[in-house]
Amino acid sequence: MTDCGPSTTSPGGRTASPSRFRPAWGAPHGTRPAARRSDAYAYAYAYAYAKALQATRVPVAHRVFEGADRHFTHADPVPAGKEAIESMARPAQHHVNAASAPIMDRRTPPVWQLTQRRCTALHGRPER
Helical residues (DSSP H) of 57-102, grouped into ranges: 61-64, 81-89
Task: State the pLDDT at residue 74.
Answer: 43
Residues of the chain with pLDDT under 50: 58, 61-75, 94-95, 105
Task: State the pLDDT at residue 51.
Answer: 80
**Rounded-to-integer distance, Cα 25 and Cα 46, Å:** 26
Task: State the pLDDT at residue 33.
Answer: 56
Task: State the pLDDT at residue 86.
Answer: 61
Quick one: three-class SS letters along 10-43?
CCCCCECCCCCCCCCCCCCCCCCHHHHHHHHHHH
Task: State the pLDDT at residue 73.
Answer: 42
Task: State the pLDDT at residue 62.
Answer: 47
pTM passes above 0.85: no
Nearest to 114 by CA among 127, 95, 97: 127
Side chain identity at residue 109, one-letter code: P
